[in-house]
Amino acid sequence: MKSRFENSDIERARKRVKEIKSFYINLALYCTIIPILIIINLTFTPGFYWFFFSMAGWGLGLLFHGMAAFNYVPFLSKDWEERKLQQFMEEDRKAREKFRNNDNQNL
């Protein structure tokens, strides 16, 4: 019988695989539909390139989808969280020391 932790590990792994699969489906659709939109645009309204709006908007969404699926977050990462925690703990420690020193001087 599997432990509760093993089950949660399996569920997390399944969720991650599902997220990555969803990204690849989104990417495949992007690579299929954007060229179709380009052809439609150039065929029916060649004077205005509106396909750029679709390409840029969907592309930006695809970028963020990929970053989320592959756990790539250059800003607000776990490393950033750890540095901020250490910074705040150090600031608190210094404030306590300063308060203690001021309190001791007043005695």
Nearest to 59 by CA among 16, 29, 17, 19: 29
Q: What is the pLDDT of residues 12-69, one digit of tens each?
A: 999 999 999 999 999 999 999 999 999 999 999 999 999 999 999 999 999 999 998 9
pLDDT at 8: 86
pLDDT at 2: 60
pLDDT at 80: 79
CA distances from 6 to 1, 12, 13, 43, 79 (A): 10, 10, 11, 56, 26
pLDDT at 107: 61
CA 17/CA 23 separation, integer angstroms: 10
